[in-house]
Structure 1
Amino acid sequence: MAKRTYFFTGFPGFLATRIIDRLISEHPDADFELLVHPSAMETATSRVKRLTSGGRDTGRIRLFEGDITKAGLALAPSVSDELYETVTHVFHLAAVYDLAVPEALAQSVNVTGTRNVNAWVLHCKKIRRYVYFSTAYVSGDRKGPILETELACGQGFKNHYERTKHDAEVLVQYVRDRVPTTIIRPGIVLGDSRTGETEKFDGPYFMMRFLDRFSRVPVPYIGRSRATINLVPADFITEAVCHLAHHPASADKVYHLADPSPYTAREAYRLIAEELSGKKPMFTVPRSSVYMMLSVPQIRRWVQVERETLAYFHLEAEFDCSQATADLEPAGIRCPDFGEYIPKAVEFYKENRHDPRKLIPVN
């Protein structure tokens, strides 16, 4: 088979780094061309050294300063012209994932950035696959079953993150007839199921931070919803994406990389509380009361929880994974059971909860 050349946005982010690490192991002769925002170049340089340490057999790995919010990704025309001739796979992971992101920033990075990446991809002469990272939560406030084949269904959105990721995926859907495209919609991503490792304590880790603040008093449940919460470990996402990026059947498909048998949010919360504090929640506080409490900036900063997080513990959406299951199960790739790996996630959190590099500021 002809040589593979991978082009990435979103490096040195956590998932991009893990995917590149696995691809190096699976395709050691491949080249990697990594678009890096100038603000992240120092970290990116350090991570490349780690990826190639120990005399590891790799192809060429190059870093290019760029910016997806700029036309042409802010690459020199001569650089783009060279890459257009060699790139075979594009992975677009760069985005703002903060649930409390301001609208202008979300629009610039998630929508304008994706429009610019789409335009760049269309110039690649040897492109075999365009892998775009969306999110399962482009479904917004929809309830009930959500199919992988559905997108724009008149839904509203809980925050600017969801709305702009939806709008960005719409743009990617428009290029599917011109470029072999695979769209990935992950659930809420936790750390590695085997080690617990993660880069930032955001998303469900906000609940661990919340429970930390009340560790010396009885632990409450928040609300009485029986909704499920779809949590998936990073190693499952990595393994699945690396497989689907090369699977002939996955071109022009959308995949919910979600847990096909998710726990209820209440049960997941209980397991986290017991692992973290050794205490089972004993009573219930109305969700509206907690939301009002987190509406006060001083309280929000003290408990270190974004109020937008609460909505995802009460979301009545069911993500159908039929396409993902059909194309992953023959390769033996399955989402691990949350109850089996949450002890590792909590253990890693407890060991690193005071590391300022892992703490997401709450405003």
Structure 2
Amino acid sequence: MAYLVTGATGFIGRFLVPELLKRGATVHVLVRPGEDSVLRFNRCRRMWNAGDRVRAVRGDLNAPGIGVDPSWIAAHRGSIEHVFHLAGGLDSVEPGGGTRRVAELAAQLEAGLLHHISTAQIAGGWDGVFTEDMFDVGQVLGSPYQRAMLEAERAVRDQDRVPWRIYRPSIVIGDSHTGEIDRIDGPYYFFRLLRMAAQLPRILPVVSPQLGETNMVPVDYVARALDHLAHRPGGGGATYHLTDPRRQSVAEVFNLFADEAGAPHLMEVMPKQTLDVTLRVPGMGWALRQVGVPMDVIEHSEFACHFDSRQAQAALAGTDIRVPPLVGYAPIIWKYWIENWV
């Protein structure tokens, strides 16, 4: 058995490839032209320590045919059982374009299954329960990223040459055992604020508007779940939410990390609309950016809906693959950030 993986050197990919290698297979990794991409691939290959079982395939998602040598396609036709597409985020330039080309490549290779890693962000502003069977149901998509990821899913669903499975992780944070991350993203931008807030008296809570719910999962859970779900018997057509089944508010998560930072807790005492007004105050957006918080991070850290992940949970039943409670590994996440990124 052999695999082809796009985005293998990204955050999720670096954890998924070792899971695939445990199965004794060869993993072909799409590597973009350019010195930086090649260096990143070589660093990851050394880390994976799998010798020639990890092989680079030159290609570019933005190029016709992804720029893969036709002779390579001919030589591997029928031998690639699984294509994992983890680089869907690159579709932001041409929504769905890169993913469509990956699907075409999978068809040329006569792959057994195309695994598309999407995101729970495609729920947009949906209010209520968003199920794994829901797709384009009129949800408001407030950002170019959300719209691009919806179109990437559409590109997978609209083709019928390769069976597919779609996976929607929520906000992916560090490894629950080591805290490892490879870049500052998402909720990590707020850690700097927490360090600053640690100078305030802890007995005085920080008053805030209602911030709604959020959903976070550690990268090791996502990688192990992907590996298991991808190898389940059967065909395609399934969508899995890789989300935490527990409901948790933004304030609850913030306060878990506030405890690690020694900072005061947030206390939500104002209507949610107050946040929208606050962010429009002249200078507020500038102030947040000065401490390293991009404005879209605030929007993407909150979900208006609750994610139903019953299909994923049922498919993972009988294994030890489950989302650990954030309270149990928040200290590990904080410790890794303090020791490696401050």
Task: Report the TM-score when normalising by structure 2.
Answer: 0.90
2:177 equivalent among 194, 200, 212: 194
Cα distance per residue 1:280-324 (max 9 Å; x no partner)? 236768423552369767534311001112224443201000100
Pairwise CA distance, 1:326: 0.7
Alpha-carbon distance in 2 for matches of 1:86, 1:11 = 19
Pairwise CA distance, 1:88: 1.2
Alpha-carbon distance in 1 for matches of 2:235, 2:217 = 20
Cα distance per residue 1:256-278 (max 9 Å; x no partner)? 00011131111111111111234
Equivalence for 1:148 = 132
Pairwise CA distance, 1:149: 0.4
Residues 7-26 of structure 1 correspond to what in structure 2 (within 5 A)? Answer: 7-24=4-21, 26=22
Unaligned runs of 5+ in 2: none
Kindly indicate whether the alpha-carbon contact (under 8 Å) linking 1:221 and 1:266 is maintained by their aligned counterparts in 2.
no
Alpha-carbon distance in 1 for matches of 2:150, 2:186 = 19
Pairwise CA distance, 1:339: 1.3
Equivalence for 1:70 = 63
Kindly indicate whether the alpha-carbon contact (under 8 Å) linking 2:171 and 2:301 is maintained by their aligned counterparts in 1.
no
Equivalence for 2:74 = 81
> Quick check: 1:271 aligned with 2:256?
yes
User: CA 1:238–1:295 in 2, change beyond 3 Å: closer, same or farther?
Assistant: farther
User: 1:264 is matched by which residue type in structure 2?
Assistant: S
Residues 160-175 of structure 1 correspond to what in structure 2 (within 5 A)? Answer: 160-175=144-159
User: 1:46 is matched by which residue type in structure 2?
Assistant: R
> Quick check: 1:107 aligned with 2:100?
no
Kindly indicate whether the alpha-carbon contact (under 8 Å) linking 1:67 and 1:73 is maintained by their aligned counterparts in 2.
yes
Alpha-carbon distance in 2 for matches of 1:82, 1:196 = 40
Equivalence for 1:32 = 27
Alpha-carbon distance in 1 for matches of 2:135, 2:78 = 33
Kindly indicate whether the alpha-carbon contact (under 8 Å) linking 1:294 and 1:300 is maintained by their aligned counterparts in 2.
no
User: CA 1:122–1:265 in 2, change beyond 3 Å: closer, same or farther?
Assistant: same
User: CA 1:79–1:268 in 2, change beyond 3 Å: closer, same or farther?
Assistant: same
Q: How many residues align?
A: 334
Equivalence for 1:342 = 330
Is 41-50 or 304-313 further displaced after alignment?
304-313
Equivalence for 1:360 = none
User: 2:186 is matched by which residue type in structure 1?
Assistant: G
User: CA 1:66–1:314 in 2, change beyond 3 Å: closer, same or farther?
Assistant: closer
User: 2:28 is matched by which residue type in structure 1?
Assistant: E
Alpha-carbon distance in 2 for matches of 1:168, 1:114 = 6
Pairwise CA distance, 1:115: 1.0
Cα distance per residue 1:125-177 (max 9 Å; x no partner)? 2x2221100001111111100010010111221211111000110111123x4
Kindly indicate whether the alpha-carbon contact (under 8 Å) linking 1:32 and 1:59 is maintained by their aligned counterparts in 2.
no
Alpha-carbon distance in 2 for matches of 1:112, 1:185 = 19
> Quick check: 1:259 aligned with 2:244?
yes
Alpha-carbon distance in 1 for matches of 2:104, 2:314 = 31
User: CA 1:283–1:230 in 2, change beyond 3 Å: closer, same or farther?
Assistant: closer
Residues 348-359 of structure 1 correspond to what in structure 2 (within 5 A)? Answer: 348-354=336-342
Task: Report the TM-score when normalising by structure 1.
Answer: 0.85
Equivalence for 1:48 = 45
Alpha-carbon distance in 2 for matches of 1:249, 1:329 = 16
Pairwise CA distance, 1:80: 2.2
User: CA 1:283–1:236 in 2, change beyond 3 Å: closer, same or farther?
Assistant: closer
Residues 308-327 of structure 1 correspond to what in structure 2 (within 5 A)? Answer: 308-327=296-315
- SS of the equivalent of 2:303 reads coil
User: CA 1:343–1:153 in 2, change beyond 3 Å: closer, same or farther?
Assistant: same
User: CA 1:304–1:229 in 2, change beyond 3 Å: closer, same or farther?
Assistant: same
- SS of the equivalent of 1:32 reads strand
Kindly indicate whether the alpha-carbon contact (under 8 Å) linking 2:206 and 2:264 is maintained by their aligned counterparts in 1.
no
Pairwise CA distance, 1:340: 1.1
Unaligned runs of 5+ in 1: 98-104, 355-363
User: 2:327 is matched by which residue type in structure 1?
Assistant: G
Residues 208-357 of structure 1 correspond to what in structure 2 (within 5 A)? Answer: 208-217=191-200, 220-225=206-211, 227-249=212-234, 251-281=236-266, 286-288=274-276, 290-292=278-280, 298-354=286-342
Pairwise CA distance, 1:43: 1.1
User: CA 1:165–1:221 in 2, change beyond 3 Å: closer, same or farther?
Assistant: farther
Alpha-carbon distance in 2 for matches of 1:250, 1:198 = 33
Alpha-carbon distance in 1 for matches of 2:178, 2:278 = 32
